[in-house]
Amino acid sequence: VHQRNVAEALLVAGVTLADPARIDVRGSLECGRDVFIDVNCVFEGDVTLADNVSIGPNCVIRGASIGAGTRVDAYTHIENAAVGANAVLGPYARLRPGAKLADEVHVGNFVEVKNANIGLGSKANHLSYVGDADVGAGVNIGAGTITCNYDGANKHRTIIEDNVFVGSDTQLVAPVRVGRGVTIAAGTTVWKDVPEATLALNEKTQIAKTGYVRPVRKKN
């Protein structure tokens, strides 16, 4: 009965619910104008959705604020985080406590953000972990990037300044600072500070061996 009453109150306030019978509000949900909430979403604690926010199906949002015009796609989990305006999250994104996203940030599928600030218009679209980090504006974080924040005893921060391009499969071993305008080549392990406007890479030699024969499976 309580959930039905909550759903009816949201509808009266102008919120669009894909199915009023399939929403679960376990705390306080404050919505602006023209908010859309798809089915099977769970809201816990104090949650604020600003104007024109769209929440996809099967999302869990706990103790968070989401700015105007932001789209949250399916199966995204947000906990004790703040999201700016016109951001795009998910599907399958996870914002853990302390995540603070500025306007127009993209956090895509299977990206986890924890105790990190991400600046205006920065993007981490695929398969990355951004933890204990300060990311500037206009940064592109390639697929498979990891901030290596834990040394086995203590957590350390990674600082990525504005307009950095982080290539795929990069490991940033904290504490480390990447200067403004840096390009990091794919597959690089960064363990020292990188001066601004430089290219960071680990030199490797690619070898193509001729005459190689693949192993053959032995028959029983």
Alpha carbon 113 to chain centroid, angstroms:
5
Residue 90 lies in a domain: yes
Judge whether 213 lies within some domain.
no
Asked if pLDDT for residue 89 goes beyond 90, the answer is yes
Find the CATH number of the domain harbouring 16: 2.160.10.10
Dihedral sign (CA 82, 112, 174, 156): positive
What confidence tens digit (pLDDT) does each residue in 130-156 have?
A: 999 999 999 999 999 999 999 999 999
Residue 220 has pLDDT above 90, yes or no: no
Which has the closest alpha carbon to 130: 86, 91, 174? Answer: 174
211 within some domain = no
**Digit-coded pLDDT (tens) for 164-195:** 999 999 999 999 999 999 999 999 999 999 99
User: The pTM is what?
Assistant: 0.94
- Position 53 pLDDT exceeds 90: yes
Query: Which range marks the domain in which residue 25 is found?
Result: 2-200
pLDDT tops 90 at residue 217: no
| CA–CA dist 192, 203 (Å, integer) | 15
pLDDT digits (tens, 9 = 90+) for 94-129: 999 999 999 999 999 999 999 999 999 999 999 999
Catalytic residues, by residue number, are 126
In a domain, 160, yes or no: yes
Residue 1 has pLDDT above 90, yes or no: no
In sequence order, the 6+-apart residues with CB closer than 8 A to the CB of 126 are 108, 109, 110, 111, 142, 143, 144
Q: How many domains does the chain have?
A: 1
Residue 113 tokens read as 């953000």
The reply to whether 215 falls in a domain is no
For 14-34, the pLDDT digits (tens) are 999 999 999 999 999 999 999
User: Is 32 within the bounds of a domain?
Assistant: yes
Q: What is the mean pLDDT of the chain?
A: 97
Q: What is the pLDDT of residues 201-213, one digit of tens each?
A: 999 888 999 999 9
Instruction: Quote the tokens at residue 149.
Output: 């924040």
Reply yes or no on whether the pLDDT at 85 is more than 90. Answer: yes
Report d(CA 153, CA 151) in Å as an integer.
Answer: 6
User: In 10 A of CB 144, how many CB atoms?
Assistant: 16
Whether residue 57 is preceded by a cis peptide bond, meaning omega within 30 degrees of 0, is no
